[in-house]
Amino acid sequence: MAKSRTFCIYLLKEGFNAGNALKTDHSLGDPADASQLPEGATLYVLDKSPSQPWWKAYWGVSQNLRQVLKGAIVFLPIGERCFAITFGHTYHFLKDESYEYDFGLITTLNALDPEKIKSTDIFQPENAKRERIQSPTASNLTFFDINNDESIIKKLTGAVKTEYQGILSNITGANNLRITSKVTAREISDLCSRVLEIYNKEDYKESFPDIQNISPVKDPTLIETLNGKLLNAFTDNSIDLVLTVPDILDHQEPSYTIYSGEGRTNLKFDDIYIANYREYLQEKEVTEVDVKKLKAHKLNLKDENDNTIKSYPIYKCLLFDCEIDNGDEDNEHYHMCEGEWYRVETDYIKQLKTSLDPVFADYGLLSDCDQKREDDYNEKVANDNSSSVVCLDKTNIAPKGNIEPCDLYTVENDRAILIHIKISTRSSSLSHLFNQGANSIKLLRMDGTSRDKLKALLPDVNFKAPIDNNKFKVIFGIITAKDKVKKSDNLPIFSRISLQRIMNELKLMGIEGEVVLIKDLVDRKKQKEK
């Protein structure tokens, strides 16, 4: 009986093959001889010399210990396309721009039995949050509690549909495709041909109908236009452009960040901010960047022994929202994450606007902001309205842990008004703002101890009465220089999606929610970015 084997397969973009898909500094040597290769295939072998594990010298082990790293890449032409089948960790030698980033996921969505999903990796572009959810038994997407409006599915694992069980069993899709199959070396070309057919299908639109509110952009001309907007945002020092790590990290590993691509540097950073990358460019006297530089420059995570844990192109670490005026009434909306551009459906954007614009309002207590810090602004509003507003910034109502009730508290029409303040319309900041408001009100509605702790923070009975009567209203105050007239359009797309979710949660609790745009009088571009 044939033995099942796991294959890791990449589909190269059109125009890429064994001759140009490898990085120029790869250490694979020349193509190797192999008697079982399919016609037209090319094989490279990774054959590193044995080395000692670091812990041998650390512990003073006298025994002769050697570890060996081996691997291979097979380039397999199929029609006008070419596959790269990797073994070991050789995929690092492929150029980042050489393969289709949606190949593994789309193929998996087309081949996967929707009722037999075992694991999902999801990514929330709004705050760069990553999560892996696994099920002990095969289940459908409902089990994994994925909000398709807020999350991009990065990886799925499960069993294939009956029609594909003759060639595949389990399948995992992300950038690449990991499949288990019993095919022989002589049959691998037929397998890849079938996989290419599956990739080109659109069955997933019926099996997973809501998954395409967000879809990847493939058109090179459109990508060039979008990259132009990205570069303009970088040149303009836009606070809407964010740098993050495009991966699930093991934070138990101590690390620091260092940037590379323009020569060695002694600049080390504990956190990941785009301002730090700019500082590196300034040190190297780089005054302009283009997409080529963003792809060549690296964000490197180092351990305490200065060993590189992981390395990513800067281009792949950027988060950015933008619009394109297509000449019609409606602009097209795009989001960039992990080096890929995604289009957000226009009808979905309209639905968000219809839902959210009515919750944007003015609120007289929240005056224009000329303070650099949120806490200073909160104190000023409270001092200017000392008889009616209490500043609760940095207080805590959680029985365990730390949850602020709000930044500012007042009473209006026999309701407790919980006001949460945040400077900027950056996705990560707004995510914190909305979640803070949701967590606070849930706690106050469910937990008597938290209500008592809130009352203890208030000066007199007039402030406390609405809490006893369980009457609340939540206001999100966003300090921004953007035009109030645009209402929800001022927020990044994934922040709008997050806000809609929070507003729906408030409605279910019978609580009114509002958003107030507060005019920002401070030039934030002159401050250090984060």
Residue pLDDT, tens place only, 150-159:
566 777 888 8
From 102-116, 164-178, 237-251, the region with the lowest mean pLDDT: 237-251
Partners of 423 in the beta sheet? Answer: 479
**pLDDT confidence of residue 380:** 95
Q: Which two tokens stand for residue 39?
A: 């016609």
**pLDDT confidence of residue 211:** 64
Tell me the mean pLDDT in the region 192-205: 89
More confident site: 252 or 432? 432
From 78-87, 240-249, 301-310, the region with the lowest mean pLDDT: 240-249
487: left (phi over 0), alpha (psi -120 to 50) or beta: left
Tell me the mean pLDDT in the region 325-341: 78
From 67-81, 284-298, 339-353, the region with the lowest mean pLDDT: 339-353
pLDDT tens, position by position, 493-523: 878 888 998 999 999 999 999 999 999 998 7
Q: Are 178 and 91 in contact (CB under 8 A)?
A: no
Q: Are 98 and 175 in contact (CB under 8 A)?
A: no
- In the chain, the percentage of residues whose pLDDT exceeds 70 is 90
* Helical H segments across 268-367, by residue range: 274-283, 291-296, 346-356
- In the chain, the percentage of residues whose pLDDT exceeds 90 is 42
Q: Say yes or no to pLDDT of 234 above 80.
A: yes
Q: Say yes or no to pLDDT of 139 above 60.
A: yes
DSSP run (H or E) holding 87: strand 81-87
User: Is this structure's pTM higher than 0.75?
Assistant: no
Q: Say yes or no to pLDDT of 283 above 60.
A: yes
Q: Say yes or no to pLDDT of 473 above 70.
A: yes
CA-based nearest residue to 22, from 43, 39, 2 = 43
pLDDT tens, position by position, 25-51: 888 888 999 999 999 999 999 888 888
147: which residues sit within 8 A by CB, 6+ positions away? 501
**pLDDT confidence of residue 458:** 93
More confident site: 136 or 118? 118
- Domain extents in the chain: 5-216, 220-320, 353-526
CA-based nearest residue to 4, from 167, 136, 175 = 167
**pLDDT confidence of residue 422:** 92
Mean pLDDT, all residues of the chain: 86
Tell me the mean pLDDT in the region 405-416: 94
512: left (phi over 0), alpha (psi -120 to 50) or beta: beta
Measured distance between the N- and C-terminal CA atoms of the chain, rounded to whole angstroms: 58
Supply the CATH classification number for the domain 353-526: 3.40.91
Tell me the mean pLDDT in the region 252-257: 70
From 7-11, 264-268, 524-528, the region with the lowest mean pLDDT: 524-528
Q: Say yes or no to pLDDT of 528 above 60.
A: no
Tell me the mean pLDDT in the region 250-272: 81
**How confident is residue 228, by pLDDT bands cut at 50, 70 and 90?**
very high
**pLDDT confidence of residue 286:** 92
What is the rounded CA–CA span in Å between residue 365 and residue 367?
Answer: 6
**pLDDT confidence of residue 142:** 62
**Phi and psi, residue 435, nearest 5°:** -70, -35
